[in-house]
Amino acid sequence: MVLSLRDVSLSLQGNAGMVDILHDISLDVAARETVGLVGPSGSGKSSLLMLMGGLERATSGSVEALGNDLTAMDEDALARFRREHMGVVFQSFHLIPTMTALENVATPLELAGARDAFDRAAAELEAVGLGHRTGHYPAQMSGGEQQRVALARAAAPRPDVLLADEPTGNLDQATGEAIMDLLFGLRDRHGATLVLVTHSQELADRCDRTIRLVDGRLDRETRRTAEAAE
Amino acid sequence: MNWLTQAARIAGRELRGGLGGFYIFLACLALGVAAIAAVGSVRVSITEGLEREGRNILGGDVEVEWDFRGASEAERAYLASLGTLSEIHDFRSMAATGDGSEADRALTQVKAVDDLYPLVGEVELSPEIPLEEALAGDGVVVHPVLADRLGLEVGDALWLGSKPLTITALLRREPDAGADGFGLGPRTLVRRATLEESGLLSEGSMYETKYRLLLPAETSDDALDALKAATDTELEGTGARWRDRRNAAPQVERFVDRIGSFLVLVGLAGLAVGGVGVSAAVRAYLDRKTPVIATLKTVGAEGRTIFAAYLMQIGVLAAVGIVLGLILGVLIPLAAGPFIEARLPVPVALGIHPFPLVEAALYGALTALIFTLWPLARTEQVRAASLFRDVSGPARGLPRKRYMAALAISAALLIGLSAWLSGIPELALYAAGGILAALVVLVGAAWGVRALSRRLARTRLARGHPALRLALGAVGGPGGEATAVVLSLGLGLTVLAAVGQIDANMRAAIDRDLPEIAPSYFFVDIQPDQLSRFLERVQGDPAVNRVDYAPMLGGVVRSIGGTPAREIDHWVTRGDRRISFADALPAGTRLTAGEWWPEGYDGAPQISFAQEEAEEIGVEIGDEVVMNVLGRDITATVTSFREVDFSSGGIGFVMIFNEAALSGAPHTWLSTVYAEEEAEGQLLRDVAGDAPNITAIRVRDAIDLVTEALSALAAATSWGAGATLLTGFVVLIGAAAAGERGRVFEASVLKTLGATRGTILTSFAIRSALLGAAAGVVAIAGGAVAGWGVLTMVMEAPYAFEPVSALVIVLGGALATLLAGLAFAWRPLAARPARILRAQE
Ligand SMILES: Nc1ncnc2c1ncn2[C@@H]1O[C@H](COP(=O)(O)OP(=O)(O)OP(=O)(O)O)[C@@H](O)[C@H]1O
Ligand SMILES: [Mg+2]
């Protein structure tokens, strides 16, 4: 298993005491699998994705990724693990405002010690259709452009696992489809495992499996049937 | 509802959130205001005290003083015609426990008084007996310090000159102590009549006579002016010095003025440093409020409404800060009161003085306005569209003209006000100019380091070093904290470096100005018939290395080269001057122009003038100098110039006459003796035991006194430095705190991308180092310029760059900022990224 969650719960400190966000979630994701996380707003999709990336600490239960227990690792170990194996696209992108698009994309490559970081970053921006925007700062780009930079940044190091929170949320039909092709291309060409949070039926339909969350609980799991695949 | 009411409502709602996040703003403003209010209060307390108590401090309405002589019959009669007249002789002498060479001796400042003393005020004695009784017969009153030094108590014998007296009481309070300034020895009080047959106060010896006048009660200040004019005319050319109740303690006043003006300058610089902190705090606040402002605009608020709303909020906060500062400014002097009072020889009534408080409040309000107008004006430029960008870039370009005009007017008002109110307009203008120049240079340095970082980020150098590129991006990229940090750090470090330069230079001056081989003793008042015995004793002593001696008498310059003395503005022509005479050129003297008179010369009087003083006054060879010596006018021709070094602690006279011109006049001899330290004690006992009227001034004690005065100045500098340091530190913490939000966010994203804490911390450190270097270079240069300015203009001392102090201060300051920044980064680095990123959404 690439990802393996056992009885994971998450509670956060809210204004009026602890708020339970996720309850006893257990799920496994196999290698090269694509999983779509769906559910109503506020159901805990983003939170679950953060747990899978080791970006959030589970209140109880265990999270394993590629055989490593994420709950037992310290921040540096987690960072090194992500550097080598994981890409994350946030719901609100989180580009570094003091860096250009190109520098944003090159940063994880540099951190991983790549020599040709800038060339690869430029190629990656070309692939998301932003070859002409490399020198722009985040504040100078539209929401959709920023989202594509974020995606390029996550995909550039060719991660084993890509976690993406609404990767097509701000995009028009044509661009959205191009991005989907890019995501699934990562699986097809590099054997990446994808976990995607989405409200888009179209994107969910292309996944091997969709998991529906309601009120922080696993509600329903749908496996794509052979017919649907055709 | 008009726009101002709307603005007030918005401001009210925003302020409901409390003052959280504004502690730095409040601290910066309060500290600056408190420092200025405190210094102002103390200064006003002292000057008001001097004014109110002037009559008591002076011991009369008027004092007319002569050196080396008493008033003539005519002069005395004139003074007595003005009011009640009391006469005082003031001189240094040796107080001894006996008359032999076994006796202990100590230098004392003797005040020989008449029956009328004190004309005003009360002398307090212990035991509490009237002065009248204490000074009757051969009674003498001494300061407890002198009694301690000699191991004497009330009832013991004390010798003054060759006369044994009896200590009848210890002196607890001398009402007119402030008027005498800082003396060399502790006080002895005795009747003038008691000193007959003591061998002291003979003609030609060194003493001052003070004539105190009590005028009719209704004498106004105008009448006092008229009286002064009349007296100046009456006593012109006699060397008489006038002082009245309005400037009773000029030495203390000058001392307080000098320290006070310096501290006000430091306070203003501190306020400027605080202003940068205030500006940074407001900018950070408004940055955070960008979405609120954009939303308000979306729902129809006009630019002026929003500007007014935030101006009102800042106004309320500034008022709170200023009030806090004023409270502190009132409390600090009250708390420090006993400490200050103990160090000044005049009564200080520390209290609440409205004027310096209003002054400090005005400075604070103007500073707050100046440093917040710019970021406030920017709120008008926030566009509703910024809501739809993930990260809103800061507004660019200059604020609108009317805000620029308001800024210029406030700055001019602050500078003008400080120039006018501080009473040192020139210095205040220089200081304001210096601070302004520093700010401009720092803005330039910030711009430079940002441009450089942007360039470096694009070069090969940065590739493959994410920590470095990250730092370069943070410094050079948009919306960074770079400018604010360079400004606050730079200005803070500049002020600190300047204070450090001043401090180091003053300490160096204390060391440098101490003559390397100073004489052990000055012996004064040696009578001509005692000279040969005196020389026999000291020259015959193997422990004595060198003896210099010269005759001395007092004279008053009447005119030089035909110009009356009162028209020449130089210390040489003011009051009595000590002059000397010689036949042959004294050993070791170097002439720089003209010729020395031939041996045995007894023609028309000639003068050899000190080179430097001659240049300053404009004396030329061949000029005639008219000198009044003990009532007789002597006209002499300047025939040579000499090199005289007054700083070496040896004998130096501005004017030396040929021997025949003066040897007939009553005079005494002055001698400097250079001896081994072990031999000093016995030497003093022998000389004074043999001739009790000779006064010995131990040079080491005199130097200690000078060092003490300089140390007081150095201490004031240190206090000023401390206050600035505190403000600077608050500002730096503020800058670090203001940058925290951005850094925390960056750290979280970088961790997501795989950066370890080490990489992130390294990046933060490189960033601080870049900004610290830019600020530090400016600070070292600025500190040197400011230090030079203060030393040459305020302290009137030479300046030399002190590299160690500059480097230590700048490196220390930069390091402190770095550590503060890292400390702020620590918490977010340890947290899981999701918690922080979630809050950003
Ligand atoms: N810091 C927090 N403290 C308390 N509760 C929080 C906190 N952050 C989020 N929540 C709550 O956790 C729940 C799950 O949030 P999450 O962001 O995972 O939802 P989501 O399914 O991704 O929603 P969306 O589709 O709108 O993005 C929400 O109800 C939210 O209100
Ligand atoms: Mg979400």
Q: Residue A47 C-alpha to ligand 1 middle, in angstroms? A: 7
Nearest residue of A to residue B829 by CA position? A75
**Is residue B386's pLDDT more than 60?**
no
**Is residue B452 exposed (0-12), middle (13-18) or buried (19+ Cβ within 10 Å)?**
middle
User: Do residues B109 and B235 both lie within one domain?
Assistant: yes
pLDDT for A227 equals 46
pLDDT digits (tens, 9 = 90+) for A182-209: 889 888 888 899 999 998 888 888 899 9
What ipTM goes with this model?
A: 0.82
Quote the number of domains for chain A. Answer: 1
**Is residue B646's pLDDT more than 70?**
no
pLDDT digits (tens, 9 = 90+) for B436-458: 888 899 989 999 999 998 888 88
pLDDT for B319 equals 94
Find which of A28-37, A101-110, B524-533, B545-554 is predicted with most confidence, using mean pLDDT: A28-37
Smallest CA–CA distance, residue B838 to chain A, in Å, is 9
pLDDT for A211 equals 94
Quote the number of domains for chain B. Answer: 4
User: Do residues B273 and B363 both lie within one domain?
Assistant: yes
pLDDT mean over B714-738: 71
pLDDT for B395 equals 46
Pair of tokens at residue B269: 């610089």
CB contact under 8 A, B758 and A47: no
pLDDT for A230 equals 39
User: Do residues B332 and B409 both lie within one domain?
Assistant: yes
CB contact under 8 A, A76 and B756: yes
* Residue A118 CB coordination number (10 Å): 18
In B360-406, DSSP assigns E strands to none
User: Do residues B30 and B110 both lie within one domain?
Assistant: no
User: Higher-confidence residue: B718 or B370?
Assistant: B370
Among B745, B753, B757, B766, which would you mutate to test the A interface (most chain A Cβ atoms within 10 Å of its Cβ)?
B753
Q: Residue A55 C-alpha to ligand 1 middle, in angstroms? A: 14
Is A111:B466 a contact under the CB 8 Å cutoff?
yes
Residue A110: CATH number of its domain: 3.40.50.300
Containing domain of residue A167, as a range? 3-229
User: Do residues B389 and B462 both lie within one domain?
Assistant: no
Average pLDDT of the residues of chain B:
81
- Report which of B191, B206, B221 is spatially closest to residue B117, judged by C-alpha positions: B191
**Is residue B213's pLDDT more than 60?**
yes
pLDDT for B716 equals 67
Which of B207, B229, B247 is the endpoint of a domain? B247
- Chain B residues with CB under 8 Å of A80 CB are 754, 756
B394: confidence class by pLDDT, cuts 50, 70, 90: very low
Facing B834 at nearest CB: one of A50, A103, A139: A50
Nearest residue of B to residue A54 by CA position? B832
- CA gap B561, B559 in Å, rounded: 7
User: Do residues B559 and B471 both lie within one domain?
Assistant: no
Which atom of ligand 1 has the smallest separation from the CA of B835? 1
- CA gap A56, B589 in Å, rounded: 88
User: Higher-confidence residue: B704 or B61?
Assistant: B61
pLDDT for A197 equals 93
Distances (CA, A) of A84 to A16, A156, B53: 39, 12, 83
pLDDT for A194 equals 94
Place of tokens 């150098």: B461
Q: Which residues of B make CB contacts under 8 Å with A?
A: 388-393, 457, 463-466, 469-470, 473-474, 476-480, 742, 745-746, 748-759, 829-830, 832-835, 837, 840-841
Q: Residue A60 C-alpha to ligand 1 middle, in angstroms? A: 18
**Is residue B841's pLDDT more than 60?**
no
CB contact under 8 A, A79 and B840: no
Which of B247, B274, B295 is the endpoint of a domain? B247
Which atom of ligand 1 has the smallest separation from the CA of A44? 18
User: Higher-confidence residue: B42 or B598?
Assistant: B598
Domain-located, residue B581? yes
Smallest CA separation from ligand 1 atom 4, residue: A14
Domain-located, residue B536? no
CB contact under 8 A, B834 and A108: no
A53 interfacial to chain B (CB closer than 8 Å): yes
**Is residue B196 exposed (0-12), middle (13-18) or buried (19+ Cβ within 10 Å)?**
exposed
CB-ligand 1 contact for A92 (6 Å cutoff)? no
pLDDT for B436 equals 84
- Chain B residues with CB under 8 Å of A112 CB are 754
CB-ligand 1 contact for A19 (6 Å cutoff)? yes
pLDDT digits (tens, 9 = 90+) for B787-807: 888 888 766 677 888 888 888
CB contact under 8 A, B754 and A84: yes
DSSP assignments along B477-496, one per residue: STT-SHHHHHHHHHHHHHHH
* Residue B667 CB coordination number (10 Å): 24
φ, ψ of residue A34 to 5 degrees: the values are -115, 125
Smallest CA separation from ligand 1 atom 8, residue: B838
pLDDT mean over B554-568: 85
User: Higher-confidence residue: B112 or B726?
Assistant: B112
User: Do residues B84 and B233 both lie within one domain?
Assistant: yes
Amino acid identity for residue B304 in this structure: R
- CA gap A184, A166 in Å, rounded: 15
DSSP assignments along B423-472, one per residue: S-HHHHHHHHHHHHHHHHHHHHHHHHHHHHHHHHHHSGGGTT-HHHHHHH
Average pLDDT of the residues of chain A:
88
CB-ligand 1 contact for A61 (6 Å cutoff)? no
User: Do residues B388 and B351 both lie within one domain?
Assistant: yes
pLDDT for B738 equals 67
What percent of chain B has pLDDT above 70?
88
pLDDT digits (tens, 9 = 90+) for B407-426: 899 989 988 888 887 777 87
pLDDT for B337 equals 74
Facing B754 at nearest CB: one of A83, A92, A99: A83
User: Do residues B404 and B309 both lie within one domain?
Assistant: yes
Q: Residue A43 C-alpha to ligand 1 middle, in angstroms? A: 7
CB-ligand 1 contact for A185 (6 Å cutoff)? no
A83 interfacial to chain B (CB closer than 8 Å): yes
pLDDT digits (tens, 9 = 90+) for B163-186: 889 999 998 888 887 766 556 778
User: Do residues B5 and B78 both lie within one domain?
Assistant: no
User: Do residues B155 and B273 both lie within one domain?
Assistant: no
Largest CA distance in chain A: 50
pLDDT mean over B23-43: 85
Domain-located, residue B319? yes
Tally C-beta pairs within 8 A across A and B. 122
Containing domain of residue B616, as a range? 544-675
User: Do residues B89 and B196 both lie within one domain?
Assistant: yes
- Chain B residues with CB under 8 Å of A76 CB are 756-758
> In angstroms, how far is CA B581 from the centroid of its own chain?
39
pLDDT mean over A66-77: 88
pLDDT digits (tens, 9 = 90+) for B485-527: 788 788 878 887 887 888 788 777 766 665 556 778 888 888 8
pLDDT mean over B378-387: 65
Residue B335: which H helix or E strand, with range? helix B303-343
pLDDT for A220 equals 85
- CA gap B326, B805 in Å, rounded: 33
Which of B675, B691, B707 is the endpoint of a domain? B675
What percent of chain B has pLDDT above 90?
10
A102 by DSSP, 3-state: which? helix
pLDDT for B338 equals 75
**Is residue B469's pLDDT more than 90?**
no
- Chain B residues with CB under 8 Å of A137 CB are 393, 477-478
Sequence-distant (6+) residues with CB within 8 A of B775 are B442, B445, B485, B486, B489, B490, B493, B814
- Report which of B622, B525, B542, B514 is spatially closest to residue B578, judged by C-alpha positions: B525
Place of tokens 């750290």: B747
CB contact under 8 A, B841 and A103: no
pLDDT mean over B645-653: 69
CB-ligand 1 contact for A42 (6 Å cutoff)? yes
CB contact under 8 A, B479 and A139: yes
Place of tokens 């360039």: B455
- Report which of B633, B605, B636 is spatially closest to residue B623, judged by C-alpha positions: B636
CB contact under 8 A, A55 and B474: no
Which atom of ligand 1 has the smallest separation from the CA of A48? 18
pLDDT mean over B24-50: 84
CB contact under 8 A, B473 and A57: no
